[in-house]
């Protein structure tokens, strides 16, 4: 490049014997060439910066490229998301809140409790294949709910755990606590110890099934609990199984149980963990670990009034993220 400049200037001065030619060439080398070099460096730096900016923009949108189905996360406006649940939390993969509504207040969590029950069981060295039989001690004397597991029903500890998580079987959860070393009270104490270890400082548990309205946690605490529960393969499997059959009575047929999360039937949802809950005092509750627009998300919805409201709110969250409004 610079040789061409020299040639051009030399040509302008005509013959190589021009008396001022040596002086002009000296001036060019002394002043013009350094200026050209500086210009080239600045231009190169600017191009590199522009390229880095373009790459950064691509990284913001995991779908990448043109025709991506959603807008970069930074463009999402929480004010555009109108949820009917009293408390709601959406956490990204790093545990940062994409959306938060009344997340600090402790409130009843109903059967969401059973996730903690499962973690305490799985943290122990108890035999998951040990047979457990339902007794009168496992009946619900708080909410007076019924159960398809009658007295005398016998299943393994793992099957009891599956039914407690998948179909929210209260007697199964009660039997798990009753057969804990030193009994139910020791089990509930272990639940509270586990909660503290997870940093769930607004939470407290009084029973293993969630029937006691004094079982409380904040949405923020439940976000921590869901993320912790994701490290247990059995919990992930049990909470996302749509239905399962067991044979708790000798000489009788199967009992088929279904999952309480209807979103598992929707092929558009990729759910890795979920749990529902309901009490009059707690309203409708739902927690999930899912993936929307290629982004792993933790969703917590508490105190929803209306049987379908948590599922409706879940779909509203999905639309909000995918549309980027």
Active site residues: 111, 114, 168
- Please check whether residue 277 is in contact with residue 109, taking contact to mean a CB–CB distance below 8 angstroms: yes
How far lies 123's CA from each of 90, 128, 234, in Å? Answer: 27, 11, 12
Token pair of 288 as six digits: 């999930």
Closest CA to 255 of 263, 246, 243, 264: 246
Closest CA to 254 of 245, 267, 265: 245
Residue 18 three-state SS: coil
CA distance 225 to 203: 10
Token pair of 57 as six digits: 């923009």
Residue 55 three-state SS: helix
Maximum Cα–Cα distance across the chain: 119
Token pair of 285 as six digits: 């509750």
Residue 325 three-state SS: coil
Other CB atoms within a 10 A radius of the CB of residue 115 amount to 26
Place of tokens 């600090």: 104
Alpha-carbon torsion, ordered 212, 215, 219, 225, to 10 deg: -110
């Amino acid at each position: 490049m610079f040789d061409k400049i020299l040639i051009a200037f030399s040509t302008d001065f005509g013959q190589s014997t021009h008396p001022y030619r040596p002086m002009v060439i000296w001036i060019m080398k002394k002043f013009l060439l350094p200026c050209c070099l500086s210009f080239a460096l600045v231009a190169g730096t600017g191009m590199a910066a522009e390229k880095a900016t373009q790459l950064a923009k691509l990284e913001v949108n995991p779908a990448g490229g043109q025709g991506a189905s959603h807008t970069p996360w930074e463009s999402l406006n929480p004010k555009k998301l109108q949820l009917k649940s009293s408390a709601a939390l959406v956490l990204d993969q790093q545990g940062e809140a994409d959306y938060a509504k009344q997340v600090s207040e402790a409130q009843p969590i109903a059967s969401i409790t059973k996730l903690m029950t499962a973690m305490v069981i799985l943290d122990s060295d108890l035999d998951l294949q040990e047979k457990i039989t339902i007794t009168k001690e496992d009946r619900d004397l708080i909410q007076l709910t019924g159960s398809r597991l009658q007295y005398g029903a016998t299943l393994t500890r793992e099957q009891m755990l599956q039914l407690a998580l998948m179909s929210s079987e209260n007697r199964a959860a009660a039997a798990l606590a009753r057969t804990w070393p030193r009994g139910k009270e020791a089990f509930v104490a272990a639940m509270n110890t586990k909660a503290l270890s997870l940093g769930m400082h607004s939470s407290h548990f009084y029973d293993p099934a969630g029937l006691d309205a004094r079982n409380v946690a904040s949405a923020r605490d439940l976000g921590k609990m869901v993320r912790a529960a994701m490290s247990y393969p059995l919990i992930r499997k049990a909470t996302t199984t749509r239905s399962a059959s067991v044979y708790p009575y000798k000489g009788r047929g199967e009992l088929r149980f279904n999952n309480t999360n209807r979103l598992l039937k929707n092929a558009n949802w990729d759910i890795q963990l979920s749990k529902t809950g309901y009490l009059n005092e707690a309203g409708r509750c739902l927690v999930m670990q899912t993936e929307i627009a290629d982004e792993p998300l933790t969703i917590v919805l508490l105190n929803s009034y209306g049987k379908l409201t948590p599922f409706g709110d879940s779909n509203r969250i999905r639309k909000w993220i995918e549309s980027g409004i």
